[in-house]
Amino acid sequence: MKNKNLKALTLPELKAFLTSLGMKQYRANQVYQWLYQKGADSFDDMTNLSKEERHTLNEKACISNLILVKRQTASDGTEKYLFELEDGNRIESVLIPDEDRLTLCISTQVGCAMGCKFCLTGKGGLKRNLEAYEIVDQVIAVRRLLNKRITNIVLMGMGEPLANYDNTISALRILLNEKALNFSNRKVTLSTAGLIPQIDKLGKEGITVNLAISLNATTDDVRNKIMPINKKYPIKELIAACKRFPLPKRRRITFEYVMLKSINDTKEDAERLCRLLKGIPCKVNLIPFNEYQGCEFKKPDEEAIERFREILIDHHIMAITRKSKGADILAACGQLRGETINNP
């Protein structure tokens, strides 16, 4: 029988498993801390367990680990990590240093089924969902490589987190749990293409994280063309879901808006965007389209982006233009593909 991966268990399950091996219940808390707080990759490291207990665990259990295949550093300090999973599939995570923040962008699926026209991840389709431990292991693996603290986590890598709902929620619970990775819920952001039923469900889940919505267009006509999911969940209904989302006090929803030249970058778009967002505590991230080889879109000129931003500001909407990070190693937004296209 295959050894049990302890990171695939919740704390209560871990308690049950360890007791079934004849260990005391309180050992589960110790093991849990080793796994997540200290990121142990071997039972031999767990020095507060007895020698016999370590031996039993070596016989019956295992600790999952991602295999680092490649680590690339961009000229701006952004790092991209290519990891291999147990079944040989590959995923990417991106570390983005920015003033006093160190943000890790993690994947939730191998590929993505949403098929957004501007996104390289979407081009290859969905291979499979990541398990909760595979989502969390990205954080543990990168942390192990650094001597600095990761301050923020964004679920903006490969995949649509809300299309892998249960595993994403389990992973978030581990990221936020003070006995596990202990991130503040203010520092964790989930980004979605707009799966309305799951946004509603997330609002009732009893966990708080920052919500980011990839809006990317202001009319259904344009959004249908660039984000097929819009045919199922059109803009008006998506905005209504954002309005009813139970936002904690002083929190805002982030709207991401990939700027595509002559597609969604006009003055009329900016004005429509203001009308759509009216009454929602929010901020807008304008993301200049990151071009890649063979892509059908262009990035608007800087002046066009700035004009767009000023219209939002004039309407008292907080708006920033996101600097493209790591573009020279294809680590920028929407450029992740787990190297499956060239290296099948």
Q: Give me the residues that bind ligand SAH (CB under 6 A), please.
A: 118-119, 156, 160, 191-193, 214, 216, 256, 258, 287, 289-290, 333-335
Q: What is the DSSP letter of 44?
A: G
Q: Which of the listed partners (ligand SAH, ligand SF4, none) does 333 bind, with a CB threshold of 5 to 8 Å by partner kind?
A: ligand SAH
Q: Which residues of 280-294 are buried (b: 16+ CB within 10 A; e: fewer)?
A: bebebbbbbbbebee
Say how many residues make up the chain: 344
122 near ligand SF4, rule: CB under 6 A:
yes
Q: Annotated catalytic, 282?
A: no
Total of residues contacting ligand SF4 (CB under 6 A) = 12
Residue of 92, 134, 160, 265 interacting with ligand SF4 (CB under 6 A): 160
Q: Annotated catalytic, 92?
A: yes
* Neighbouring C-beta atoms of residue 38, cutoff 10 Å: 11
338 near ligand SF4, rule: CB under 6 A:
no
- Which member of 53, 92, 160, 256 is catalytic? 92
Locate 241 and state its tokens: 């879901």
**DSSP letter string over 214-258?**
E---SSHHHHHHH-GGGGTS-HHHHHHHHHHS-PPTT--EEEEEE
Q: Which of the listed partners (ligand SAH, ligand SF4, none) does 290 bind, with a CB threshold of 5 to 8 Å by partner kind?
A: ligand SAH
Tell me whether residue 254 is exposed, middle or buried, using C-beta atoms within 10 angstroms of its C-beta: 0 to 12, 13 to 18, 19 or more. buried
- Binding string, residues 188-227; x marks residues near ligand SF4 by CB under 6 A: -----x--------------------x-------------
112 near ligand SF4, rule: CB under 6 A:
yes
Q: What is the DSSP letter of 2?
A: P
Residue of 61, 106, 114, 217 interacting with ligand SF4 (CB under 6 A): 114
* Torsion sign (Cα): 291, 297, 303, 307: negative
The catalytic residue positions are 92, 333
Interface ranges with ligand SF4 (CB under 6 A)? 112, 114-116, 119, 121-122, 159-160, 193, 214, 334
